[in-house]
Amino acid sequence: MPDTSPPKKVVLAYSGGLDTSIILKWLQQELGAEVVTFTADLGQGEELEPARRKAEMLGVRKIFVEDLREAFVADYVFPMMRANALYEGTYLLGTSIARPLIAKRQIEIAQQTGADAVAHGATGKGNDQVRFELAYAALDPSIKVVAPWREWAFRSRSDLIEFARENQIPVAKDKEGEAPFSVDANLLHSSSEGKVLEDPAKAPPSIVFQRTLSPQEAPDRATTVTIGFQHGDPVSVDGEALSPATLLARLNDLGRDNGIGRLDLVENRSVGMKSRGIYETPGGTILHVAHRAMESLTLDRGAAHLKDELMPRYAELIYNGYWFSPEREMLQAAIDHSQRHVEGTVRLTLYKGNVIVEGRASPSSLYNEAIVTFEDDRGAYDQKDAAGFIRLNALRLKLLASRGRS
């Protein structure tokens, strides 16, 4: 039988914003629980010390504020990039891939501090509740989970504001009214959805875009960049070796300035509804194009095509919250095996929203100019061999034709 008693100590994924501050107080006041806060720096671009100070003001004694940018990129973003993962053909999974790391650290902190529960601020309509809670279950099946948005009585923004005032929780002036849309951000991307964006027929207002210039505003001159790869991971930009997070940040800057990485998407949420989101993934878009170019030179045809067949399933697993599932780990092992010889450099031109491959080179290249040339190949390839190949592949088509195709 599951333990239905109230939690005694809860590790809360805490941003320091209005919603999670109300959740913090609600956990203390309504459940009588001691709250431990965990604030992760995943490169969202916000100062995190205010979150620490706010937690202290609300009486929290154990506060964790951690810089996880390098771990995020090296252990989550790059493995996903090795797969060329795109959800529904276009989405680079920027929000989805951040949740497993946050959940993992919450469980570790719960075990470290003796907490018997974890809590998140995801709503009952979204994907994140699923992602967090599937990760919790995979990492510690005995942990209690508190999902306030599915449990409390608040029904509107004004209810939250009133609760904040009653409990002396500071409310920023720009939070007094309805925010025009909801934003989630990390080093890989930013996403905006809800409210003003809920009509998919309407173009997003320019204020939505925070990480990229529009292609129209981007410079009229092209930018050239060279990315180096080892074992499928990017390791350098223009010959300079960089750490994973530093490299992604560098490419974010280049992508931002050249209007790269915008996406307006209507997607299928794991909970069953469709939603419209505006995504900006400047560095990730550049990496995706560069990695596929590197693979085009170094992957065998059979391996490359199998990877492309596996990718939608892999991407769906991440989107739906199954990062810690055995099937994702099995796929990751196959993907990582394919990356042993994905090494070399890719030269790209960035121009007004476009990422254009200009050249690629690899010490492990499978491209053989002596075989592929239209000039004299000096016996490297006997063109007469193609006749038998064609006859064998045509045999079944001839049999079908002789029978008639009805």
Residues 6+ apart with CB under 8 A from 399: none
Q: Any idea what DSSP says for residue 259?
A: T
Strand extents, DSSP E, 158-304: 182-185, 190-193, 223-230, 233-237, 240-241, 262-268, 274-280
Sheet containing strand 262-268, strands side by side: 182-185, 190-193, 274-280, 262-268
Q: Residue 40 is inside which H or E element, if any? A: strand 34-41
Residue 191: how many CB atoms within 10 A of its CB?
Answer: 21
Catalytic, out of 15, 19, 21, 338: 19
- Token couple for 31: 């459940």
Residues 6 or more apart in contact with residue 220 via CB below 8 angstroms? 352
* 157: annotated active-site residue: no
Distance between CA atoms of residues 239 and 233, nearest Å: 15
Annotation marks residue 159 as catalytic: no
Plot region of 184 (φ>0 → left; ψ -120 to 50 → alpha; else → beta): beta
Angle between helices 99-113 and 128-139 (to 10 degrees): 50
- Quick one: tokens of 330? 């099995």
Question: Catalytic pick from 82, 99, 131, 250?
Answer: 99
Does residue 238 carry a catalytic annotation? no
The closest of 339, 352, 356, 344 to 286, measured between CA atoms, is 356
- Residue 216 per-residue DSSP state: T
> Angle of helix 18-30 relative to helix 157-166, nearest 10 degrees?
60
Confirm whether 99 is a catalytic residue: yes
State the sign of the Cα–Cα–Cα–Cα dihedral 271, 275, 278, 284: positive
Q: How far apart, in Å, are the Cα atoms of 368 and each of 49, 364, 402? A: 55, 11, 40
Angle at 74 between CA 69 and CA 77, to 5 degrees: 85
Q: Tokens 């055995």 — which residue?
A: 326
Choose, from 52, 75, 157, 182, the residue flagged as catalytic.
182
149 contact partners, CB below 8 Å, separation of at least 6:
121, 122, 123, 124, 129
Q: Which candidate in 41, 128, 131, 190 is catalytic?
A: 128
Query: Would you name the residues annotated as active-site residues?
Result: 19, 99, 128, 182
